[in-house]
Amino acid sequence: MNMKIKINENYKNLKKSYLFSEIAKRVKAYSEENPSAKIIRLGIGDVTLPLTRSVTEAMTKAVAEMGERETFHGYAPDNGYDFLREAISRHYKRFGVDIPVEEISVSDGAKSDVGNITELFGDNPVLIPDPVYPVYYDSNVMSGRRISFIRADETNGFLPMPEGLSGEGYIIYLCSPNNPTGAVYDHASLKRWVDFAVSTGSLILYDSAYEAYIHGNFPHTIYEIEGARACAIEICSFSKTAGFTGTRCSWTVVPSELSAGGMSLREMWERRQATKFNGVPYVVQRGAEAALSDTGYAECMELVGYYMKNAALIAGVLREKGIFFTGGTSSPYIWMRCPSGMDSWSFFDSLLHGIQVVGTPGAGFGECGEGYFRLTSFGSREATEEAVARLRGFLQ
Amino acid sequence: MNMKIKINENYKNLKKSYLFSEIAKRVKAYSEENPSAKIIRLGIGDVTLPLTRSVTEAMTKAVAEMGERETFHGYAPDNGYDFLREAISRHYKRFGVDIPVEEISVSDGAKSDVGNITELFGDNPVLIPDPVYPVYYDSNVMSGRRISFIRADETNGFLPMPEGLSGEGYIIYLCSPNNPTGAVYDHASLKRWVDFAVSTGSLILYDSAYEAYIHGNFPHTIYEIEGARACAIEICSFSKTAGFTGTRCSWTVVPSELSAGGMSLREMWERRQATKFNGVPYVVQRGAEAALSDTGYAECMELVGYYMKNAALIAGVLREKGIFFTGGTSSPYIWMRCPSGMDSWSFFDSLLHGIQVVGTPGAGFGECGEGYFRLTSFGSREATEEAVARLRGFLQ
């Protein structure tokens, strides 16, 4: 039944994403030919440790409240309960940053906010790092915007910088620590981006979903940088901080200062959410609040510590072998150069067939990802140790 | 800081929504002048009874699973777990309708889906009932579409029909039972809409969020109507069926037959959700599954029955007084004509000042709502009985 309605023709410009289905296909074929092979997956982009005790206790209590008339909660405020917005505001104080509660809106995921916030904007030129999380690109293809890539490579340590860019009024995506490269902007580099955005009247959409993995003196939030309130929206998530990938909670900060075309971006975002979103479950918001309490946050840091020990093991063997990589010290991701000039799918096959370790070919994250490979630290300690031992024997 | 980025200029065409803030303001002013007044709210559009036992048990168990490594769940499938999609598919069999699992996508709310699905479409003319839930209108203003209202009034029983419409390729919003009028399409009337949509190549977006309140022989789903699979997307929710307004779960059915411009609408919707949505919390999906089990559904019907007894009490006094109204028999809403030709805000004031009962002025739901008034059955039995006694004395 071909209807007479017009569709959003931009959808025809989306490329089909083959990355994870192609990985699954190759792994399946190998397993079928080698049924006794013990395959280790270091390609997982999802957490595997359970929710912490503070979180499950808060959620269990909240479920009980929802089951009693006196403590039942109906529609939540569109932007989140104040108890959670206040907890997030306090969380920013851990980094010496003041964010007023009214600038924080709670939602169901960074992916949702990263995609949905583009609705506020007109036809601006968009700058997207390459390689990067594919959602930035796809959501802008859907709205037909002009996209330019800012190239990340070994010369810039996989941290693209603004120098050399001309033009103004950009929408700029930055993700630090980066997915998939694990590279992290330091204060000085991020300041150059903020200065560029301010001087060109551009907007930075700053994805800090991996900030909890930062080790050492790197900015956890773009608002540590002077001038950022005049040019940046920050999107952060409980997914990787508190293991909430299957629990769904995130937040977005839109500073009150931000305006364009005579409109407050914060008011536009609030209107967008009030019209097309109905809040995050009460039970989840109570869990998220607990994750940011002092006890809850210490538990989160234990989860992060577990993964980061895995990352250190992987990074260790690459260092031993003198292989270039980024990430692994402030990120659960390790982004390594494929040895012997191999392309990333060839290296994928060689690891799978040679030592039964599965990772993610860098080419799947953009043109600049060719020749690189992503390993992740979200596996178990045992599996990671075994994979590292196999890599030690395999890599030259 | 006025940036140089272009904004979505359509946001400037949104009207500020004064309805509920104006109600709150007038109630507050009255309360301050009359501190001892016992005000009863029959304007609530939110459920007040707690989650049922099946739901809280399933959610409590799911929280415990999330706290153990062996049973932890990370990212959910973008369109929902099969256990829930299968439960929804089985739910449709209650109405004699077969919906394949792959046509069902689970999301966090009907409001989200109603708003987000418009992204799939180009610049089609849009038909929206007046009066209606304001989200249909606002989400289309945000995307700059041409909106025409289909007028509901006493002559059509507040159920607008397609006769007299010309043109083709419409996006048509239908909500049955309707919010705010409580009016319900019967099979024959809905068939006329389906025939109109099929013959004009139009798409119906069918909001069935209140289907659980239907009493008697009315369609619970548009797919009870022959031809609907060729022209209709249905959006339904657990909010009013299972008291999930603060728990957040809904679903959308996009039949595989639907295509336009050479694209499958189901594939477009799946791509939209995969790009800008990351699934519903595992804990919530387990609760939703439990709500649709035989025991859980019987509990839901008890909640609905409680509210519907309230509705019957309100409807009873209006019938006694010979006042025209719609709703109240297959809907938690009662839409009454204001007595003595009063406009809806005058009647609001007269009820508040006269008998301290708060409802919702119909003018807030559209031009055709002027002169009408919405009462809801979501209050407690005691409050509803008291309000009805006061109305009995007050109405002529």
- Collapsing DSSP to helix, strand or coil, A7 comes out as strand
Out of A14, A63, A281, whose CB is closest to B248? Answer: A281
At residue B153, the pLDDT reads: 97
Cβ distance A50 to B67 less than 8 Å, yes or no, reads yes
Give the pLDDT confidence of B266-321 residue by residue, as tens digits: 999 999 999 999 999 999 999 999 999 999 999 999 999 999 999 999 999 999 99
Residue A2 clears pLDDT 80, i.e. is over it: no
Pairs across A and B, CB distance < 8 A = 286
Question: Where is average pLDDT lowest: A10-19, A106-115, A197-206?
Answer: A10-19
Encoding tokens for residue B154? 């006493």
Residues of B in contact with A232 (CB under 8 A): none
At B98, give phi and psi (nearest 5°).
-100, 115
Q: Chain A: nearest CA to B321, how far in angstroms?
A: 33
DSSP H or E run through B88? helix B82-93
Cβ distance A275 to B139 less than 8 Å, yes or no, reads yes
At residue B282, the pLDDT reads: 98
Cβ distance A5 to B53 less than 8 Å, yes or no, reads no
Residue whose C-alpha is closest to residue A363's, from A379, A378, A342: A342
- What mean pLDDT is reported for chain A? 97
Contacts of B382 (CB under 8 A, 6+ apart): none
Cβ distance B168 to A49 less than 8 Å, yes or no, reads no
Cβ distance A5 to B247 less than 8 Å, yes or no, reads no
Burial A108-138 (b: 16+ CB within 10 A, else e): bbbbbbbbbbbbbbbebbbbbbbbbbbbbbb
At residue A44, the pLDDT reads: 83
Mean pLDDT throughout B146-174? 97
Out of A6, A51, A257, whose CB is closest to B67? Answer: A51
Residues of B in contact with A248 (CB under 8 A): 108, 278-281
Longest dimension (CA), chain A: 67
**β-pair type (B263-264, A360-361):** unpaired
Q: Chain A: nearest CA to B89, how far in angstroms?
A: 23
Cβ distance B261 to A7 less than 8 Å, yes or no, reads yes
Distance between CA atoms of residues A255 and A253, nearest Å: 6
At residue A396, the pLDDT reads: 83
Residue A334 clears pLDDT 80, i.e. is over it: yes
Residue of B nearest to A12 (CA): B263
Residue B122 clears pLDDT 70, i.e. is over it: yes
**β-pair type (B259-260, A2-3):** parallel
At residue A1, the pLDDT reads: 61
In this structure, which amino acid lies at residue A150?
I
Q: Where in chain A is the domain with CATH 3.40.640.10?
A: 71-293
Write down how long chain A is. Answer: 396
User: HEC profile for A140-157?
Assistant: HHHCCCCEEEEECCHHHC
Q: How far is CA B29 from CA A87, A317, B25, B37, in A?
A: 33, 71, 6, 12
Q: Where in chain B is the domain with CATH 3.90.1150.10?
A: 12-50+296-394
Beta bridge partners of A203: A171
Q: How far is CA A267 from CA A105, A111, A251, A256, B12, in A?
A: 11, 21, 16, 9, 11
Residue B23 clears pLDDT 70, i.e. is over it: yes
Mean pLDDT throughout A182-205? 98
pLDDT bucket at B18, cuts 50 / 70 / 90: confident
Cα B9 to the chain's mean position, in Å? 28
Cα A16 to the chain's mean position, in Å? 21
In this structure, which amino acid lies at residue B161?
M
Out of A2, A73, A122, whose CB is closest to B7? Answer: A122
Count other Cβ atoms within 10 Å, centred on residue A166: 5
Mean pLDDT throughout A287-300? 98
DSSP of A312-358? HHHHHHHHHTT--EEESSSSSEEEEEPGGG--HHHHHHHHHHHH-EE
CATH fold of the domain at A71-293: Aspartate Aminotransferase; domain 2 (3.40.640)
Q: Chain B: nearest CA to A239, how far in angstroms?
A: 9
Cβ distance B67 to A53 less than 8 Å, yes or no, reads yes
Residues of B in contact with A50 (CB under 8 A): 66-69, 72
Percent of chain B with pLDDT over 90: 96
Beta bridge partners of B336: B325, B373
* Residue bearing tokens 């792994």: A27
Count other Cβ atoms within 10 Å, centred on residue B69: 9
Distance between CA atoms of residues A308 and A300, nearest Å: 12
Cβ distance A5 to B66 less than 8 Å, yes or no, reads no
Out of A4, A119, A272, whose CB is closest to B168? Answer: A4
At residue B16, the pLDDT reads: 86
Cβ distance A277 to B111 less than 8 Å, yes or no, reads yes
- Collapsing DSSP to helix, strand or coil, B28 comes out as helix
Strand order across the A263-264 sheet: A263-264, A259-260, B2-3
Cβ distance B3 to A201 less than 8 Å, yes or no, reads yes
Contacts of A167 (CB under 8 A, 6+ apart): A125, A200
Question: Where is average pLDDT lowest: A41-45, A390-394, B154-158?
Answer: A41-45
- In contact, A284 and B281? CB cutoff 8 Å: yes
Strand order across the B333-337 sheet: B325-327, B333-337, B372-376, B360-361
Q: Where in chain B is the domain with CATH 3.40.640.10?
A: 53-293
* Residue bearing tokens 């709670």: A106
* Residue bearing tokens 């993964």: A307
The Cβ-side half-sphere exposure at B253, using a 13 Å CA radius, reads: 29
- Residue B265: DSSP 8-state: H
Q: How far is CA B188 from CA A89, A193, B191, B218, B235, in A?
A: 55, 62, 5, 9, 21
CATH fold of the domain at B12-50+296-394: Aspartate Aminotransferase, domain 1 (3.90.1150)
Residue B326 clears pLDDT 90, i.e. is over it: yes
What CATH code would you report for B53-293? Answer: 3.40.640.10
At residue B1, the pLDDT reads: 61
Contacts of B305 (CB under 8 A, 6+ apart): none
Encoding tokens for residue A164? 């050399």
What CATH code would you report for A9-50+296-394? Answer: 3.90.1150.10
Burial (Cβ within 10 Å: 0-12, 13-18, ≥19) of residue A40: buried
Q: Chain A: nearest CA to B342, how far in angstroms?
A: 30
Residue B2 clears pLDDT 80, i.e. is over it: no
Residue A62 clears pLDDT 80, i.e. is over it: yes
- Collapsing DSSP to helix, strand or coil, A212 comes out as helix
